[in-house]
Structure 1
Amino acid sequence: MDKITDTEHLIACNECDLLLERPVILDSQKAKCPRCGSTLISARHNSIERTLALSIAGMILIFPANLFPLLTFELMGRTQSQTIFSSAMGFYYDGLWPLAVLVFMFTILVPACKLLLLFWVSFSLQFSIRLPARRFALRSYQHLDEWGMLEVYLVGVLVSVIKLVSMATLVPGIGIFCLGALILVTTMSSSMLDTDLFWHKIAEADHD
Structure 2
Amino acid sequence: MQTGAVQWIICEHCDSLYEALPLSKGESAHCLRCAAVLGRSHRLSIEQLLALSIAAFVMFVFANVFPVISISMQGLHNEVTLWGSVQALAQGQITLIALVAGLAIILAPALQIALLFWVLFHAHRNEIAPGFKMCMRTLEHLRPWSMLEVCLLGILVAIVKLAGMLDVHAGVGLWAMAMLMVLIVLIAGKDIRRLWDELGVEPL
TM-score range relative to shorter protein = 0.7 to 0.9
Higher relative contact order (CA 8 A, sep 6+): 1
Q: How is 1:165-184 mapped onto 2 (pairs within 5 angstroms)?
A: 165-184=163-182
The TM-score, its normalising length taken from structure 1, stands at 0.83
The one-letter amino acid paired with 1:111 is P
Aligned-residue offset at 1:181:
1.3
Matched positions, count: 200
Which consecutive unaligned segments of at least 5 residues does structure 2 have?
none
Q: How is 1:54-69 mapped onto 2 (pairs within 5 angstroms)?
A: 54-69=52-67
Please state if 1:135 is matched with 2:133.
yes
Following the alignment from structure 2 to structure 1, what is the Cα–Cα distance between the partners of residues 131 and 86?
A: 31
Which consecutive unaligned segments of at least 5 residues does structure 1 have?
none
Following the alignment from structure 1 to structure 2, what is the Cα–Cα distance between the partners of residues 124 and 162?
A: 44
Q: Deviations over 1:56-83 (max 9, x none)?
A: 1111110110221111111222111111
How well do the aligned residues superpose, as a CA RMSD in angstroms?
A: 2.5
Which has the higher Rg, Structure 1 or Structure 2?
Answer: 1
CA, structure 1 residues 185+78, in 2 after alignment: closer, same or farther (shift >3 Å)? Answer: same
Q: Which moved more, 1:107-116 or 1:139-148?
A: 139-148
Following the alignment from structure 2 to structure 1, what is the Cα–Cα distance between the partners of residues 35 and 160?
A: 44
Aligned-residue offset at 1:19:
5.9
The TM-score, its normalising length taken from structure 2, stands at 0.84
Following the alignment from structure 2 to structure 1, what is the Cα–Cα distance between the partners of residues 75 and 38?
A: 60
Q: Is the 8 A contact 2:119 2:128 kept in 1?
A: no
Q: 2:9 aligns with which of 5, 12, 24?
A: 12
Following the alignment from structure 2 to structure 1, what is the Cα–Cα distance between the partners of residues 115 and 123?
A: 13
Query: Which protein is richer in helix relative to its size?
Result: 1
- SS of 2:144's partner is coil
- SS of 2:179's partner is helix
Identical counterparts, % of pairs:
27
The one-letter amino acid paired with 2:71 is F
Q: Is the 8 A contact 1:74 1:169 kept in 2?
A: yes
The one-letter amino acid paired with 1:10 is Q
